[in-house]
Amino acid sequence: MQPPRLIFSDLITEAFSRVTGNVRALFDIALVPTVISVGLSLAGRLVSGERMEPLEAMAIKVFDFVPTAMFAVAWYRLVLLGPQSVSSTPGFGWTVRERGYLGQLLLIAAIPIILHALFWMLMPWPMEMPGSGQVPPDVERAMPVGFAFTVTAIIALRLSFGLVAPSVDLAWTPRLSWRYGKGNGPTILFALLLLMVIGVIVKALTTAILLTIALGLFGAPLSIGPWLLITLVAETVAYMSIAPLVTVQALIFRALTGWAPGGPLRQPPP
């Protein structure tokens, strides 16, 4: 049986249409996860100071998977089942669905996470612009690890539409994601990569603009008050900007598996 053909433009268009049509629900769903993410950033600042090293920032990001799971599961259900399926504000409970999402995420992301950590253990910090001489030995050792991280991160992104399964109470494995995605790999990858890059750029630009304004008003270093306000706005924007990515994951999952409430999944390609 031939897998259905995904159309890149249709995925992107429908994703943004779903997000713009559910802005109020998006703010409601993102509220508590945003507060938790801000709390994690605040804890990192209190422990490490104003400038965290890469491994410290990475540790905060790993803990941030928890509020991300809360947001993603609720948003998947809204996309696939409608607003009535989101019974309570995410963040006030932790169910088997969020645990399932986190388990699936760790299955596909554990190797990239380990490689990313190893990369920053090998890479000298703070980084300096290379001169005309030889590449430092530490950088030479880190480069193959950085390449391996990039490859495994791309594979994880290709499999990531399977993160939707726990939100609709389905057992899942990364192997099923690979099989269901056959014939649509480039479309899946480019759609998710585009939206991920857009989200990163939007958050980075928002943070840079707010930081420039705050430094002009209050000077450096920023006290905890202005910093907290910037972080709150940046995290809010971050959840708003990843909503299209999460939406596309749900749309891909439904299109490739034939999922419908109460119905069987279509057989995956061999």
Contacts of 75 (CB under 8 A, 6+ apart): 26, 29, 243, 246, 247, 250
Q: Identify residue 201 by its one-letter amino acid code.
A: I
pLDDT tens, per residue, the chain with 270 residues: 677 999 999 999 999 999 999 999 999 999 999 999 999 999 888 887 667 777 788 888 889 999 999 999 999 999 999 988 876 677 777 889 999 999 999 999 999 999 998 988 887 766 565 555 576 777 788 889 989 999 999 999 999 999 999 999 999 999 999 999 999 999 999 999 999 999 999 989 998 998 899 888 878 777 888 889 999 999 999 999 999 999 999 999 999 999 999 889 999 988
Tell me the C-alpha distance between 262 and 241, whole Å.
Answer: 31
Q: How many domains does the chain have?
A: 1
Q: Which two tokens stand for residue 104?
A: 């699936």
Query: Residue 51, Cβ neighbours under 10 Å: how many?
Result: 10
- Nearest Cα to 95, choosing from 69, 75, 76, 77? 69
Whether residue 96 lies inside any domain: the answer is: yes
Instruction: Name the packing angle between helices 224-257 and 23-48 (round to 10°).
Output: 130
DSSP string, 117-173: HHHHHHS-SS-----SSPPPHHHHHHHHHHHHHHHHHHHHHHHGGGGGGGGGT----
Whether residue 219 lies inside any domain: the answer is: yes
Whether residue 171 lies inside any domain: the answer is: yes
0.75 exceeded by pTM: yes
pLDDT of residue 223: 81
Containing structural domain, residue 54: 8-126+136-257
Whether residue 114 lies inside any domain: the answer is: yes
- Cα first-last separation, the chain: 9
Whether residue 270 lies inside any domain: the answer is: no
With contact defined as beta carbons under 8 Å apart, do 86 and 74 qualify? yes
88-124 CB burial, b ≥16 within 10 A, e <16: eebbeeeeebbebbbebbebbbebbbebbbbbbebbe
DSSP string, 84-103: GG--S-TTS---HHHHHHHH
Whether residue 94 lies inside any domain: the answer is: yes
Q: Which two tokens stand for residue 208?
A: 């840079």
